Amino acid sequence: MLPLRERADSNPYRSPGANVDVPDAPLSARTRSTRGMLLVYGAVAVLSMAFEVFSYVYLGQLASGVRLAEISPHLFDRATRFLAVSQLGVFLVTGVLILRWIHRARECLDALGAVGMRFSPGWSIGWYFVPFANLWKPFQAMAEIWKASQAPRAWKDQPTPRLLRWWWGLWLLVSLLGQAVSRLSPQARTLEQLQGLSLLSLADSATHVALAATLTVIMGRIDGMQRAHFADPTQAAAPPAATGAEVKPVV
């Protein structure tokens, strides 16, 4: 692994401008930027929820023969497409930042002396792109990152927090709802079908909001645990305790 920082400081993991009493782990800057983008991601999802509620009402009025003044079906369709493209763009940017954060979080654990980990930094994000295995492997990698951030020398003895299970359940639900919306969208022709699609999209957006909030908390917790370890140069530099046969990480 390439060195995270190269400085002649007693704590090589301290940011250049950090106060000596408030050390900064290498993960922190990336945590701030990623959580900031998650805030944007959540805000767009909330905006989408409001639009889906409006869509449901608007389509219901069209079905009853009433059309809202100054809002034509053509304008409504353009607004729907614009919001969908905006959501996709924010989702892609946020996804890239999250993967970069996971990679760095796992990388920092090597500097903290964690041994016997099953997932390398690369495969901690690589499993997201492997069909079928991406249903559970990324969760295992994140659980390992959490445990090792909590106790680098004894991470195997740490329990998996319920917060991570909620996060992964929300992620699977988001994936399921997203696929359902994508498959049903081309088939929705009648106003009643479009109303049903609006309700499904509303549930999808609400799940995105919950997912963004949960992941924001998880990132803050992991960053905080790693900061606490990096704040103690002696602990960070101490050799790992003797263990049995070391498990070779996935590369």
pLDDT, residue 109, reads 94
- CA distances to 143, 147, 156, 164 from 160, rounded to whole Å, are 6, 7, 10, 7
pLDDT at position 187 over 60: yes
Write the single-letter amino acid at 141: A
pLDDT tens, position by position, 118-138? 999 999 999 999 999 999 999
- Main-chain phi, psi angles of 250, to 5 degrees: -70, 135
Alpha-carbon distance 126 to 128, whole Å? Answer: 5
pLDDT at position 177 over 60: yes
pLDDT tens, position by position, 41-77? 999 999 999 999 998 988 888 877 776 556 677 777 7
pLDDT, residue 68, reads 59
- CA distances to 125, 126, 127, 137, 180 from 130, rounded to whole Å, are 10, 7, 5, 9, 20
pLDDT at position 240 over 80: no
Verdict on whether the full-model pTM lies above 0.85: no
